[in-house]
Homo-oligomer: A and B are copies of this chain.
């Protein structure tokens, strides 16, 4: 089976993307980052999800992006926006400068070492927060970069960055995951959970998730009040 590097955050999108990689016949090498995000419970969620999808490996790397700052997700002196209009076109403060570029770059390096030509990332440009590095044009530009950036690239082994969720609504993503038998109770989407991992219910990520489960017509198994 070919190997794919899968970026795994512990949220429902990347879990679903990893499951699609497995469905499509890839051995999954999962990659997560402790980058200074407030919600460090997401690394525990990523580990649960990696096990659930049967990842061959799960690598967790430390890269302290708080040293760079510029995001409410990595700076304790900026508040996570709550009850924001998630359809607004501005880029919110939870945007982490160049985060997906950095994560994909490390995935590119690992893929080269593994002799893998495939990376999966759960980005979505429909029910999302307007982050520039979640859009198809970004992914396409990264693939072009990969052609000239690595030994594999100059030897003609092109890299494919798979984005199976790019054009799905959040409800579609949830339906797809449920068809694949996923347990979304393992995941954590909230940007600002309580110390026990309870989601805040008001950040962008919670809002998108709540609306997605509502539109899919199923309860969210990660919510303590939902029936399981």
Contact = CB atoms under 8 A, between A and B. Distances in A.
A64 interface: yes
Interface stretch (A80-88, A93-101, A167-175, A199-207): A93-101
B59 A61 contact: no
Contacts of A128: none
Contact of A91 (B61, B98, B151): B151
Contacts of A226: none
B102 A98 contact: no
Interface stretch (A8-16, A42-50, A136-144, A188-196): A136-144
A158 interface: no
A63 B60 CA distance: 11
A109 B99 contact: yes
Given A109-B98, A141-B148, A148-B138, A61 B61 contact: no
A153 interface: yes
- Most B CB contacts (10 A, CB to CB) among A63, A96, A100, A101 go to A101
A190 to B, nearest CB: 23
Interface in A96-139: 96-102, 104-106, 108-110, 112-113, 132-133, 135, 137-138
A64 B67 contact: no
A39 B69 CA distance: 28
A104 to B, nearest CB: 8
Contacts of A98: 105-106, 108-109, 112, 149-150
A61 to B, nearest CB: 6
A113 B97 CA distance: 7
A1 interface: no
- Most B CB contacts (10 A, CB to CB) among A59, A96, A113 go to A113
Interface string A144-178: 11011111011000000000000000000000000
30 contacts: A59-B67, A61-B63, A62-B63, A63-B63, A63-B106, A65-B109, A68-B110, A68-B113, A69-B113, A70-B113, A95-B151, A96-B109, A97-B112, A97-B113, A98-B105, A98-B108, A98-B112, A101-B108, A102-B105, A132-B149, A132-B153, A132-B154, A135-B148, A137-B148, A138-B148, A138-B149, A141-B145, A141-B147, A142-B145, A144-B145
